[in-house]
């Protein structure tokens, strides 16, 4: 059985946070964390602690925030190794090509526009989580194969020394 998805929602508007919470809970997601700024998100993700095991499976990130905008926040999150494969879905009122290009260049995997359409949001969240689960399975399989290959090489090394 798989663990419930852990989702971090980052938005500086309390109404938007409550709306996202209601939509996600209604869709069955209950491992939710919230941040009202990029700095709060960085703290929740323990970006400054290389040894932290803090992680999430998905980040919903508002683009328009004071101090540090969502695009810069996305860029910073993606520099941390444990978050390289974590999908970041940008939530924005901006749908210009320049903003979307900047978001994708910063590492975003998708975007939804405000006002959020509930069916679209849930569909994009589920798609992003399926993609992350597939990446996680592939990485685990690669680790297993690497261990098996190293064991086989050790056995071959011992048998050729005989």
DSSP 54: -
pLDDT, tens digit (0-9, with 9 covering 90-100), for 63-86: 999 999 999 999 999 999 999 999
Q: What is the mean pLDDT of residues 54-68?
A: 93
Through-space distance between the first and last CA atoms of the chain, rounded to whole angstroms: 46
Q: Is the dihedral of CA 47, 20, 104, 4 positive or negative?
A: positive
Q: What is the mean pLDDT of residues 124-143?
A: 91
Q: Is the pLDDT of residue 124 over 70?
A: yes
Going from N- to C-terminal start, the domains of the chain cover 6-160
Is domain 6-160 classified as CATH 3.40.50.2300? yes
Would you list the DSSP string of 60-88? EEES--SSS-HHHHHHHHHTSGGGTTS-E
Looking at every residue in the chain, the average pLDDT score rounds to: 90
pLDDT at residue 1, as a whole number: 42
Whole-number Cα distances in Å, 12 to 40, 67, 68, 92, 102: 10, 11, 11, 12, 20
Highest mean pLDDT among 5-9, 99-103, 145-149, 151-155: 5-9
pLDDT at residue 151, as a whole number: 85
pLDDT at residue 72, as a whole number: 97
Q: What is the mean pLDDT of residues 148-158?
A: 81
């Amino acid at each position: 059985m798989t663990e419930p998805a852990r989702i971090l929602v980052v938005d500086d508007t309390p109404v938007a946070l409550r709306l996202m919470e209601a939509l996600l809970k209604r869709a069955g997601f209950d491992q939710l964390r919230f941040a009202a700024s990029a700095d709060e998100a960085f703290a929740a993700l323990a970006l400054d602690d290389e040894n932290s095991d803090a992680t999430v499976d998905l980040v919903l990130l508002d683009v328009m925030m004071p101090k540090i905008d969502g695009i810069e926040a996305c860029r910073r999150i993606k520099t941390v190794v444990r978050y390289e494969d974590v999908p970041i879905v940008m939530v924005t009122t901006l749908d210009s090509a320049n903003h979307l290009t900047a978001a994708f260049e910063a590492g975003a995997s998708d975007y939804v526009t405000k006002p959020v359409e509930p069916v679209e949001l849930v569909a994009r969240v589920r798609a992003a989580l399926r993609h992350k689960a597939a990446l996680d399975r592939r990485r685990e399989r690669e680790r297993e194969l690497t261990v098996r290959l190293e064991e086989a090489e050790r056995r071959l090394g011992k048998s050729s020394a005989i």
